Structure 1
Amino acid sequence: MILTREAIRQSVATGSIVIQPFDEELLNPNSYNYRLGRFLKISPRSVLDPLAAVEWDEIEIPEDGVLLEPGRLYLGHTMERIGSKSFVTSLIGRSSIGRLGVFLQISADLGHQGAIHSWTLELTAVQPTRVYAGMRIGQVSFWVPTGEPREYQGRYGSEAKPREYILGRDEILRTARAIR
């Protein structure tokens, strides 16, 4: 079951949903518009290999924005801290951003119950597109879980800036051996 605008507003007021800073103007019928934070990590032009250490450039988005180039992966973050111990979050891009040719949260739209932080956003553009810190870029919805709740204990649960891939080499190799 998805929460409505009023249920989100009430849950923020009671503290069962965290959205900081919260702006009632950003509420939609079944979601909340989140904004792009101040920092971007830009993928290297080299091959991304989960077994190799890779250096990402990190920039602070200037007032005149950043031009996203096609063929590059950018990691941004939500301006807001978002999450809940009571509900499951789902983060997606706004359709207006998609109509500019920017794809957001391509593979990781499901947040975990109990994770409350600034979320890392995956951005890629099909044509050169300028983005700005603070712009409305996506939506988060909140869902009622069924079953025994189990809070997120993973590696990405306390971020304040974009976070690149951190799965360890040993974990990848152990997983690969297990399927052989």
Structure 2
Amino acid sequence: MILVDWQLRDRIERGHIKIDPYDPNLVQPNSLDIRLGNHFVWYKPGKDIIDPFTRESVTSGVEEIHADSFILHPGQFVLAETLECIALPDNIVATIEGKSSIARLGVTLHQTGGWIDAGFRGTITLEMANVNARPVRVYAGMPIGQLVFYTTERAEKPYDKKGDAKYLDQRQATLSRYPANRKQE
């Protein structure tokens, strides 16, 4: 079941869902608007191959900035953080969706990483890209997306209880931690 506005406000006010900072004006009929943080990370153009099992290739050739705004160029991919830090209990999951007004500018918010497990804590790393033919400026603090919350049965082993929860308590835009996985032979 998708949580609606009054259910979201109730669960947030009771501390069942934690949102920091929380602005009640961001509660929508079926979602919670989230805002863009000020940390941006991207790969510099180059010919070096990124091998997901090799930490050095995942972390090399990267630039980052803390800024009040960021110009996203056509075809550019950037990781960004949400302003909000969230914490989900063991019976609520969320998905991140783009806001229509931002999508109409050509900015996508996530590639495939739009699922947030029960038990997750931290900021959300956005996988932003500009599919427009023109650059688009985005601003820290602007509503950039929305979280849709779903109730589920209680997870037996929520994200915060997993031994391999690579992104638990992440802050800032976080590069892939795929190298922590074992390569299958």
Residues 1:75 and 2:79 aligned together: yes
Residues 1:145 and 2:161 aligned together: no
Residue type at the aligned position of 2:50: L
In the superposition, relative to structure 1, how do residues 158 and 55 fare at CA in structure 2: closer, same or farther (>3 Å)?
A: farther
Per-residue deviation, 1:168: 1.4
Residue type at the aligned position of 1:131: V
Structure 2 SS opposite 1:40: strand
Per-residue deviation, 1:169: 7.0
Structure 2 SS opposite 1:168: helix
Q: Which runs of structure 2 are paired with 1:80-99 in the superposition (5 Å)? A: 80-85=84-89, 86-99=91-104
Residues 1:165 and 2:181 aligned together: no
Aligned residue for 1:156? Answer: 167
Aligned residue for 1:57? Answer: 63
RMSD between aligned residues: 1.6
Count matched residues: 172
TM-score with structure 2 setting the length: 0.87
Structure 1 SS opposite 2:178: coil
In the superposition, relative to structure 1, how do residues 20 and 49 fare at CA in structure 2: closer, same or farther (>3 Å)?
A: same
Percent identity between matched residues is: 32
| Distance in 2, Cα, partners of 1:60 & 1:136 | 18
Structure 1 SS opposite 2:168: coil
In the superposition, relative to structure 1, how do residues 148 and 68 fare at CA in structure 2: closer, same or farther (>3 Å)?
A: closer
On the 8 A contact 1:83/1:89 being kept in 2, the answer is no
Structure number with the higher strand fraction is 2
Structure 1 SS opposite 2:10: helix
Return 5+ residue gaps in structure 2 as ranges: none
Structure 2 SS opposite 1:119: strand
Residue type at the aligned position of 2:176: Y
Per-residue deviation, 1:42: 1.5
In the superposition, relative to structure 1, how do residues 45 and 146 fare at CA in structure 2: closer, same or farther (>3 Å)?
A: same
TM-score with structure 1 setting the length: 0.89
The CA deviation string for residues 117-174 of structure 1, in whole angstroms up to 9 with x for no partner, is: 1110000001311001001000001101136442113101111100011111762x32
Per-residue deviation, 1:33: 0.3
| Distance in 1, Cα, partners of 2:20 & 2:95 | 17
Per-residue deviation, 1:55: 3.3
Aligned residue for 1:48? Answer: 50
